[in-house]
A and B are shown apart, each in its own frame.
Chain A
Amino acid sequence: MKSKISIQNLNLSIGKNQILKNINLDIPENQVTIILGPSGCGKTTLLKCLNRLIDLEENVTITGSIFLDNEDILHTKSDLPGIRKKMGLLSQRPYPLPMNIYDNIAYGLRINGIHNKHIIRESVEHNLKQVNLWDEVQHRLKEPASRLSIGQQQRLCLARGLAVKPEIILADEPTSALDPLSSTAIEKKFVELKEEYTLVMVTHILRQARRIADYVVFMYLGEIVEHGTADEFFNHPKQEQTKAYLEGIFN
Chain B
Amino acid sequence: MLGQVLVNGLLQGGFYACIGVSFSIVFGIMKIINLAQGTQVILGAYITYAASHLLGLDPFFTLPLSIIGLFILGYMIQKYLINLVAKGGLIITSLLTFGLNLILINIALLIWKADFRGTNPWYMGMSFEVAGVTIPYVRLLIFVIAILFTIVLELFFRKTETGNSIRATALNPKAAQLMGIDIGKTYCLTFAISSALGGAMGTLFILAKPISPFTGGDFLIILFSVAILGGLGSIPGALLAGIVLGMVESFSTMFFGIAFQNVVLNLVFILILIFLPTGFMGKRFYG
A, B in one complex: no
